Amino acid sequence: MKTVRGMKIVSNDESQLRSLDELMRVFGSAKRYAFNRLLEGRNAKDIIKHLPHQFRLNKRFAEDAVLLVQSLISSRRELLPMRLEDVQAKIEKTEKKIDEYQHGRKAPKNIDLPTCLGGLHQRLEKLKAKEAELKHHLDQGTIPRVIFGGKENFYKRLKGKITNEEWKDLRSNQLYARGDKSKKGNLNIRLVYDHNYL
């Protein structure tokens, strides 16, 4: 059985918080590195051996980084057929709308007919491009691109709505640590409850 704990860390010690930020930054870099090596077809065991030398992480953190990205890749592969079905349903719905507007069974409410049809045709083009991309990934056994830190945040960074520092924080604000019952938890991280904060 797996238990996931989300935590808020409260500390007045700035040096400890900086150390934690640095650990999360290094772990995030190791995770992205492992992700790209797995997509290149490298062996997970070789990556686990290499990560401690490249990123100064211990073996347990290296294993956790690889395990995390392996699950990300497998879930993306599993979701690919569902995403394709979703896009195909949207194509069907858009084509039906175009047909209804063109044959007068439906009339646009707030805009004129040519503008409405132009927008629907643009949407249809985008959906068909997405369908072709997803089919290509299915045929090739690959997955769509992954943006660590979130696609929405990536575009915010491109538009200058968030700073480079904020973008880097969003990409590196996660730490994954598995516990082992036989070792009474995780050897890298121990959770200690402070009853004053409950």
Q: Give the integer Cα–Cα distance in Å for 171 and 147.
A: 9
Per-domain boundaries in the chain: 14-197
Q: Give the integer Cα–Cα distance in Å for 112 and 198.
A: 59
Between 168 and 91, residue with greater pLDDT: 91
Confidence band, pLDDT 50/70/90 cuts, at residue 128: very high
Q: Give the model's pLDDT for residue 13.
A: 77
CB 105 within 8 A of CB 98: no
Query: For the segment 12-71, what is each residue's pLDDT rounded down to a tens digit?
Result: 778 888 888 888 899 999 999 999 999 999 999 999 999 999 998 888 899 999 999 999
